[in-house]
Amino acid sequence: MDKNDKIKILILDDEKQFTEELSGFFEDSEFESFEANTVAEGKRLLCLHVIDLLILDVRLPGANGLDVLKEVKTQYPCMEVIIISAHGDMDTVIKAMRLGAFDYLRKPFRFIDIQIAIERTQKYLQMQRKLKHMEEKNSLISKTLEKKINRQFIGISPQILEVFEQAIIAANYPDANVLITGESGTGKENIARIIHYSSSRKDHIFAAVNSSAITDTLLESEFFGHKKGSFTGAFTDKMGYFEVCNRGTLFLDEIADMPFNLQAKILRATEEKVITRVGDTNLIHTDFRIISTTNHDIEERVERKNFRLDLLHRLNTLHIHIPALRERPEDIKPLVEHYIEVFSTKLNKPDIQVAKEVFAVLKKYDFPGNVRELRNMTERAIMLCKDNSLGIDDFRVKSHRAEKETPKVEEVDLRLNEIKMIRKALQMCKYNQQTTADALGIHRDALSRKMKKYNIKINKTEE
Ligand SMILES: Nc1ncnc2c1ncn2[C@@H]1O[C@H](COP(=O)(O)OP(=O)(O)OP(=O)(O)O)[C@@H](O)[C@H]1O
Ligand SMILES: [Mg+2]
């Protein structure tokens, strides 16, 4: 065993002969021992060495052993203490155990007794050491994960550098709520994770919740938790997201879809940081920060009374907007290079070369799916390319989209198009709402909400 790994024992007893004998007993063993015959000497040794175990006589001249025990347990909470008491002094033993002593020995004792006591403590100490190593390893893993995440937000455009700066501010103010806006695939979730893992909340939970993926009836209990038996199916007590995220971050993905009646409850929880589980009356304090996202025009939702203005004000203490990729074409090249590095290793195609024209064409393309689309495009191009050389054909850019024609007014009316699409899909799916929702790629509840919003009704004759 390495000398540094040896368990260090300090023997504090006023009888010199006793400490010497005991110390001799530990010689050539897996323990390293130190002796002290006064409290002052003991304290000096505690300062000098990282002592794992203190063998402490509670009857010391001029000092109360229990006071010493209390003091060292406060100052060195990881150190274990075995106390030595006089025969029949059970009162002191009980007090000492209450103050955190691990074990006790009654004088007079045999060396074998102390050996057994130390072995018991040793097992405990070894477990503690293992746990500490594991914790250190875990924090190392999260550190490398952090670095990885940081490295993965690529961009050189002034807009993306500003996004990064704002993310750093958000990380430095861990109690401020953050609203991240931007089109689909611009990296909203990516930035949210960067903020969380760079903030003081990083050792706690980052829970991502997409409310449109949860049924309305379950939403409240998902957020607030519930008490056993509060509704059919509530078989056990359950914590909700607000509680789970205590000291962490609650990531609300796509807030525009949040049902109106839940918004008031979320607002109250966010303001008061106190919640009650469904079916319960106990107040639970929880300290969470909300990072939310939307790729809808949330102001317009507010105007149409689909989203509460007071909640929006609560959520956007800090607002980060990630511009679409077409608005920052200078980021395309570094992103492609980054994804080549990632996928050439993954797909085992080293030394990929890119034809010059590729970047020129990509810069003209409007990327409706933003970085996600570019990433998928590059991955596919690497799979398709021959001789490890990427040409523009490998990217399969839809050229008609690259030419920026002015669309007709009708084409840009999102609301009208959504209504049309829903009606058409319903018709095609014979008015079966589940099949329609699947065909549209949205949750059935999101479809119901949209139908209610646009007043789309299914006639009995149509059904
Ligand atoms: N600047 C960037 N650097 C590297 N990768 C990025 C960047 N921006 C986005 N990505 C990648 O693009 C993909 C989509 O990002 P993300 O899921 O964060 O987007 P989103 O804005 O949340 O999209 P949606 O609105 O569809 O949920 C992910 O694989 C992400 O890692
Ligand atoms: Mg997202």
Is residue 58 a part of any domain in this protein?
Answer: yes
* Maximum CA extent, the chain: 103
Residue 461 in domain: no
DSSP per-residue letters across 367-422: -TTHHHHHHHHHHHHHHH-STTEE-HHHHT--HHHHS-PPPPHHHH-HHHHHHHHH
Which ligand 1 atom is nearest residue 192's CA?
18
Residues 281 and 306 in one domain: yes
pLDDT in tens, 119-128: 888 888 888 7
Residue nearest (by alpha carbon) to ligand 1 atom 16: 187
Q: What is the CATH number of the domain that holds 226?
A: 3.40.50.300
Q: Are residues 435 and 311 in the same domain?
A: no
User: What is the per-residue pLDDT for 403?
Assistant: 45
167 and 64 in a common domain: no
* Smallest CA separation from ligand 1 atom 29, residue: 372
Among 263, 260, 315, which Cα is nearest to 292's?
Answer: 315
Nearest atom in ligand 1 to the alpha carbon of residue 190 is: 18
Which letter does DSSP use for residue 228 in this model?
Answer: T
What pLDDT score does 2 carry? 46
Tokens 């920052």, residue located: 328
Contact yes or no for 378/345 (Cβ under 8 A): no
Q: Give the position, in ligand 1's atom list, of the atom nearest the Cα of 160.
A: 1
| 384 belongs to a structural domain | yes
CA of 159 to the centre of ligand 2 (A): 19
CA dihedral 345, 349, 355, 360 (to 10 degrees): -40
Question: Relative to the CA of 295, which ligand 1 atom is closest?
Answer: 25
Can you tell me which atom of ligand 1 is nearest the CA of 186? Answer: 21
**φ/ψ (deg, to 5) at 275:** -135, 165
Q: Which residues form the domain of 33? A: 3-129
Residue that the structure tokens 């669309």 belong to: 407
**Which 3 state secondary structure label does DSSP give 125?**
helix
> Measuring from atom 30 of ligand 1, which residue has the nearest CA?
187
Cα 370 to ligand 1 centre (Å)? 8
Distance 184 CA to ligand 2 centre (A): 7
Q: Tell which one of 151, 159, 160, 190 to mutate to probe ligand 1, the residue whose CB is within 8 A of the most ligand atoms.
A: 190
Give the list of residues 6+ apart from residue 433 with CB closer than 8 angstroms, or none: 426, 444, 447, 448
Q: Which of 166, 372, 376 to mutate to test the pocket of ligand 1 (most atoms within 8 A of CB)?
A: 372
Of 96, 129, 162, which one is at a domain's C-terminal end?
Answer: 129
Residue 141 within a domain: no
- H or E element at residue 21: helix 16-26
Domain total of the chain: 4
Domain annotation covers residue 140 = no
Which ligand has the nearest atom to the CA of 193?
1
What is the Å distance from ligand 2's center to 219 Cα? 19
CA of 189 to the centre of ligand 2 (A): 5
CATH of the domain at 87: 3.40.50.2300
Q: Which residue has the tokens 């918004």?
A: 263
Does some domain include residue 458? no
Query: What φ, ψ does residue 376 adopt, rounded to 5°?
Result: -65, -40
- Regarding whether 344 and 430 lie in a shared domain, the answer is no
pLDDT of residue 4: 53
Nearest CA to ligand 1 atom 27: 184
Buried b (16+ CB within 10 A) or exposed e, 351-368: ebebbeebeeebeebebe
**Residue pLDDT, tens place only, 350-396:** 889 999 899 999 999 999 999 999 999 999 999 988 888 899 889 88
Sheet strands (E) in 236-329: 249-253, 274-275, 284-285, 289-294, 318-321
| Cα-to-centroid distance, 207 and ligand 2 (Å) | 13
- Smallest Cα–Cα separation from 298: which of 321, 275, 282, 281? 321
Let me know how many helices (H) and strands (E) the chain has, helices first: 21, 16
Same-domain pairing of 67 and 15: yes
Selection from 368, 356, 332, 362 nearest residue 156 by Cα? 332
Structure tokens belonging to residue 345: 């290793």
384 CA to centre of ligand 2 in angstroms: 28
CA 188 to ligand 2 center in whole angstroms: 6
Ligand number, closest to the Cα atom of 337: 1
Verify that 304 and 361 share a domain, yes or no.
no
The answer on 190 and 315 residing in a single domain is yes
User: Are residues 317 and 179 part of one domain?
Assistant: yes
Residue 146 confidence (pLDDT): 57
Ligand 2 geometric centre to CA of 235 (Å): 32
Q: Point out the domain boundary residue: 296, 321, 346.
A: 321
Quick one: 45 and 66 in the same domain? Answer: yes
In a domain, 438, yes or no: yes
Do 90 and 65 belong together in one domain? yes
> Nearest bound ligand to CA 341?
1
Check residue 142 and give its pLDDT: 61
Specify if 134 maps to a domain.
no
Q: Token digits for 146? A: 């952090």
Task: Look up the pTM and report it.
Answer: 0.61
List the chain residues with pLDDT less than 50.
1-2, 400-405, 460-463
Q: Starting from the CA of residue 192, give the closest ligand.
A: 1
Query: What is the best residue among 189, 327, 328, 343 to mutate for testing ligand 1's pocket, by most ligand atoms within 8 Å of CB?
Result: 189
Distance CA 372, CA 326 (A): 13
Indicate whether 394 and 375 sit together in one domain: yes
> For residues 394 and 384, is the Cβ–Cβ distance under 8 A?
yes
Give yes or no: residues 250 and 279 share one domain: yes
According to the model, what pLDDT value does residue 87 have?
A: 67
User: What pLDDT, on the 0 to 100 scale, is given for residue 76?
Assistant: 85
Could you give the CA distance from residue 164 to residue 328 in angstroms, rounded to a whole number? 14
Mutate to test the pocket of ligand 1, among 179, 294, 371, 373 (most ligand atoms within 8 A of CB): 371
- 387-424: pLDDT as tens digits: 888 998 898 887 644 444 455 555 567 777 888 889 88
Cα of 251 to ligand 1 centre, how many Å? 15
Q: Which of 267, 288, 321 is the last residue of a domain?
A: 321
Give the ligand at the shortest distance from the Cα of 378: 1
List pocket residues of ligand 1, CB cut-off 6 Å.
152-155, 182, 184-190, 295, 371-372, 375
**CATH number of the domain where residue 365 is located:** 1.10.8.60
State in Å: Cα 183 to ligand 1 middle.
10
For 227, the token pair is 């008490």
> Nearest ligand to the C-alpha of residue 331?
1
